[in-house]
Amino acid sequence: MKGTLLDINSLTIKHLSRLIASREISCIDVIDATIERIQRLNPKLNAFITILDDQARKEAKHADSLIKQGKYLGPLHGIPVSLKDLIYVNGVKSTSGSKILADFVPNYDSTVTRKLKKAGAIIIGTNNTHEFACGITNINPHYGSSKNPWDPTRMSGGSSGGSAVAVSSGMSLASIGTDTSGSIRVPSSLCGIFGLKPTYGRVSKYGVMPLAPSIDHIGPLARSAWDIGVVLEAIAGYDRQDSSSARVPVPSYLNEISSSERKSNNSKDSNNRFKIGIPKQFFFDMIHPDVMEVFREFIDRLPGSGITTISNVDVDGTDKIIETWRAIRLGESAATHNEWMISRRQDYGEDVRKMLEKGQEISAVHYINALTKWRHEIRDAFLKAMVEYDALLVPTTIIPAPFLDQKEVEVEGKTIEVYFSLNRLTTVFDITGLPALNVPAGLVDSKLPVGVQLVGRPFDEARLLKIAYTYEKHYNLSEQFIPTPIM
């Protein structure tokens, strides 16, 4: 038993939950193995800011007692889950990766935390993040930078970088991150895991430190599409405490995935079950050749999993993407931090302070045009493009993970800042609020993961998960994307 648990990094929630439900392993064994792994790997990878080892062990013992009483709570029962260190847990320090909130301890649970606990999950700790989630590299001057488990000399990506590192290296079975510019999908791409930015309003933001409220999203990171589905099912839904929360019913994502799996197994011809569109504009204007090669290989493999309808599509209005995102993201984050920028400016890291200063320069006219006009035009263009398709498919990042000290990268003869190279292809789905799922696609130079994004209609996360699971199951992705250098 202990030998199995020591190899917990090779397991998914789907596999582990069955072992827990059948009492082949105990919740306390799972938590002990997880804590041992964190203690061994976190000093090298810096994925956690706070580790809740004693609290997690107590909760695991309680979880075991419930199972013995016949009160199994479902697939998350006894599963260790971590949270980005700006998602509140009652009585647990929540720093937002900052010096300003270094001693802040919330006296209530966020809605996401409360729902996870209700589903039986055990909060194992809080994950390192770019300061105030205000960046995409996870280079943090206050708590140190999280390091990519595939190559610790490289960035994890951010701002949910600690979450991605924890999941990729097996220090957590799943994590909850935030995404305002690509902060779930970028580190998921660079660390070789699944990461979902749900539709805006699908998951409550109550009890989460805001950055740019009009485009802040909360979502799960995990090692399989099935795992993403079970976590999303637990945390999604309307919340009256969040004014942006949507009154839209939450389907059973696991039933949707299972139904798709049964149809695939029983159908004599499972081809053409999903139609995929690939936008012609914007996404391939600037991309590293090695990443483009991985993307092409991913497309070539799609028919092998029964997805054979793949076509190029036109998307209008892409020339306004960056300008629209910049006005909303920088303008709202400057407003969020206005008081601290007056009273505690010197306590921000240099990169975050400079970004907030840029936000202070955004004009009201520019912001209002972006918020009330441009982003709706861009959203309508993407919805029009996917009318005949189940999803759109684009790369997640234009480069693999840069080195930790790298400031600029060369892409097709052009020198660009790392920041803008990492979030170039993700911000559009924050400003439009459309759901986007990172799927591990392949390795650059056989050593650095990069992903692709499946993009869907509003509140149609189930379809994205079904497509991803179809592909994942055929190619055993959760077994392929396990980093080995520091394991």
Active-site residue list: 84, 159, 183
Span between the terminal Cα atoms of the chain, in Å: 20
Phi, psi of 115 (to 5 degrees): -70, -40
Q: What is the spatial distance between Cα 318 and Cα 329, in angstroms, rounded to a whole number?
A: 17
Estimate to the nearest angstrom the gap between the alpha carbon of 7 and the chain centroid: 24
Q: Would you list the DSSP string of 420-456?
A: HHHHTTTHHHHHS---EEEEEEEEETTTEEEEEEEE-
Long-range contacts of 293-299 (CB under 8 A, 24+ apart): 294/441, 294/442, 294/443, 294/444, 294/450, 295/395, 295/441, 295/452, 297/441, 297/442, 298/441, 298/442, 298/452, 299/393
Cβ contacts of 47 within 8 Å, gap of 6 or more: 38, 41, 82, 127, 128, 146, 162, 163, 165, 166, 169, 171, 172
CB 166 within 8 A of CB 82: yes
Q: What is the spatial distance between Cα 182 and Cα 161, in angstroms, rounded to a whole number?
A: 11
Q: What is the DSSP letter of 401?
A: P
CA-nearest of 49, 53, 23 to 36 is 53
Q: What is the spatial distance between Cα 371 and Cα 361, in angstroms, rounded to a whole number?
A: 16
Q: What is the spatial distance between Cα 7 and Cα 285, in angstroms, rounded to a whole number?
A: 42
Residues β-bridged to residue 313: 279
CA-nearest of 124, 187, 196 to 161 is 187
CA-nearest of 173, 172, 140, 141 to 159 is 140
CB 226 within 8 A of CB 476: no
Side-chain half-sphere exposure of 352, counting CA atoms within 13 A: 33
Q: Would you list the DSSP string of 24-36?
A: SS-HHHHHHHHHH
Pull the structure tokens for residue 103: 């001693």
Cβ contacts of 331 within 8 Å, gap of 6 or more: 212, 359, 362, 366, 367, 370
Side-chain half-sphere exposure of 348, counting CA atoms within 13 A: 22
User: If you compute the radius of gyration of the chain from its CA atoms, what whole number of angstroms results?
Assistant: 21
CB 174 within 8 A of CB 167: yes
